[in-house]
Amino acid sequence: MSLYMQNRVAAVIVALFSTMASATLASAQASASVDNVFFQTDLRQALEDISAQTGVNVIADPSVQGIVSVSLEDVPINRALDLLLAGTGYRFIEQEDYILIYNPDAGADSFVDISTTRRVQMQNLTPVAARSLLPEPLQRFVRVDEASGRLAVTAPRELMDRILFDLEILDQEEDTVTTFVSLEFVRAEAARLMLPQQLQRFVSVDPMRNSVAINAPVQQRNEIMTLLRRLDQPTGPVSTETPDVFPTHRVDLSHGRAEGILALLSDAHQNFVRADDSANVLAVSAPRHIVDGIIRDIRTLDKPRQHVMLEARVVVLERTDLLDFGTEFRWPTIEAGSFASDNVSGMPWELRIGYTPSRQFTNALSLSLNFLSANNQATIVSSPQVLAQDGLPAEIRVTTEEFFEISSESTGIVRAQLEQIETGTILNITPRVSSTGHLTLAMDLEVSDVIGRGENNLPVVSRRTASSTIRIENGGTAAVAGLADNRSQMRNSGTPGLRSLPLLGRAFGRDGLNHQARQVAIFVTATLVDEDGHKRQTGETRQNTIRNVSDDQYRIELEAALTRMGRTGDQN
């Protein structure tokens, strides 16, 4: 027999004996059972006892150690090892002629001998997303290859099966969504190439329309859309490519000021808008996808202002106690009747005006001023009116200009110079209309007049000023009173020449003091005006005129007014 044939026969005999030995070990493992009780026993000692009882080689990794307590009653060796290692984190693997107890941690010495490596290609999930979805203890066995979009799994056989099963479950195909996106500032081919490689497979390009079609699950679609929006931006001013130039749209404003509306736009939109305040025009130069929104915002802000009719009455009251401004909020009333101290000849009646900022006070005021004017207790100095706009200042000026001469002498030369003074009524009022229709009036008032002549025949001017902010109803009246006008005048009378005699001069002359105290009151009635220039129904339809009435007519009108006011108060 040749040497070659002898070697072949020897190899067959060795293989036969090996197969018989493996079959014998497998048969021994299958038939071996364990019957033992371990209590607070060292794990390695327990493994040696099981090996001795079953006749199966049980080898433990050097890192395997611990204390165990378990009761085993005639159980197979595989089941016995499962119970013994439960809760320890250790696992076992059946080799050809022994059972290996090992630590599955990747840092263990035996990990390389018991583990295998598999490459996994993900179909729907990205490698990073797939790894992050695995349980944290399994993630340490998985590595990511972002370039190829694959995962590398290195783990013992039992863990390998579990990881591959979990990845298969996670990589289930989701319902895809197709979205078409038109690009404006970047070419579609360039945009696709700039996407991450694992996302490019979801994107198709249409170079003719410069658009892309995205066919991907929702998560990948949202990620691609976000990246495309970041890419599709206009080039900046420092770019060497296409300049940042957009078509210009002219927006003519009808109501608001250009600078004011520009300031009200958002910061992001202001960069695309320029204002010409002299022409009251805005110019919008913006990308196509936002220019319509900017113009729409401008139209929303360019709304007409509400018009307010302001009617002022400047009244001089001969008595300072005719107006009563109390702090009690109640319905306005007019009190009339006979008083024992009344010294007004021919008319034993007295009237006092109470005040509230409502529409009823305006009605009562007109009737009251009629009565006071007819009985020389009040003088209507002026009653101007002006149409104002919400939020814009309005001025009412009823003045008289008076010139006087000032002379001065210097080095024998007399110089004369004309100076001017202005007296009268000046009202600066800024109305503001609330959403409920109430009005807030910010008022700066001045009433002045020439009360006499002083030294060198120069005029003496009395000025009364007041500043106030008040909230009234539509058609209500704001009142400012207490602008006192106190005047005192000394009078000397007697026989000329004799009055200046010493001692006896008093018998031929008389000294007198004339003192007058009057109160100036200003009443401002504010009424909303509609777009057609008509006052609202809650306001007056026309300005009440001051007229003289007889006593009988006044009593009749007063009684009717009080009846109406009382009925209104009962309803409210």
Tell me the pLDDT tens digit for each residue of 330-362: 334 444 433 333 443 333 333 344 445 566 666
Domain membership flag for residue 243: no
Q: What is the mean pLDDT of the segment spanning 285-301?
A: 87
According to DSSP, the β-strands at 323-324 and 350-354 are parallel
Boundary of a domain, candidates 69, 102, 135: 102
Residues 456 and 318 reside in one and the same domain: yes
Are residues 437 and 314 both part of a single domain? yes
Q: Which residues is 212 bridged to in the sheet?
A: 181, 205
Q: Write the DSSP string, 521-550.
A: EEEEEEEEE-TTSPBPTTS-SSPPPP----
Q: Do 188 and 167 have their domain in common? A: no
How many structural domains compose the chain?
5
Indicate whether 433 and 532 sit together in one domain: yes
Closest C-alpha to 480, from 448, 442, 431 = 442
Of 461, 457, 442, the closest CA to residue 399 belongs to: 461
Q: What is the mean pLDDT of residues 98-102?
A: 82
State the pLDDT at residue 9: 46
CATH number of 210's domain: 3.30.1370
Task: Write out the two tokens for 565.
Answer: 């006011």
pLDDT-derived band at 328 (thresholds 50, 70, 90) equals very low
Tell me, yes or no, whether 338 lies in a domain: no
H, E, C per residue of 392-405: CCEEEEEEEEEEEE
Same domain assignment for residues 391 and 459: yes
Which residue from 383, 336, 319 is spatially nearest to 554, judged by alpha carbons?
336
Q: Which domain holds residue 43?
A: 33-102
Residues 120 and 161 in one domain: yes
Mean pLDDT across the chain: 74
Q: Is 564 a domain residue?
A: no
Residues 375 and 511 in one domain: yes
Provide the strand spans (E) within 318-458. Answer: 323-324, 334-337, 350-354, 378-382, 385-389, 394-410, 413-433, 439-453
Would you state the pLDDT for residue 498?
Answer: 58
Question: Can you give the pLDDT at residue 281?
Answer: 93
* Residue 545 falls inside a structural domain: no
- CATH number of the domain enclosing 284: 3.30.1370.120
Does 236 fall in a domain? no
- Which of 33, 30, 49 minimizes the C-alpha distance to 41? 49
Whether 14 is covered by a domain: the verdict is no
pLDDT digits (tens, 9 = 90+) for 400-409: 888 877 777 7
pLDDT of 421 > 50? The answer is yes
The closest of 247, 337, 238 to 287, measured between CA atoms, is 247
Mean pLDDT of 29-48: 80
Same domain, 483 and 436: yes
| Residue of higher predicted confidence among 508 and 233 | 233
Do the domain assignments include residue 340? no
357 and 440 both lie in a single domain: yes
CATH number of residue 44's parent domain? 3.55.50.30
Q: In this structure, are 260 and 356 located in the same domain?
A: no
d(CA 359, CA 473): 7
96 and 121, same domain (yes or no): no
Cα(302)–Cα(297) distance, integer angstroms = 9
* Residue 471 forms part of a structural domain: yes
Residue 538 has pLDDT above 50, yes or no: no
Are residues 145 and 284 both part of a single domain? no
Residue 275's pLDDT band (boundaries 50, 70, 90)? very high
Going by C-alpha positions, the residue among 470, 479, 475 that lies closest to residue 520 is 479
Confidence band, pLDDT 50/70/90 cuts, at residue 540? very low
Question: Distance of alpha carbon 203 from its chain centroid, rounded?
Answer: 38
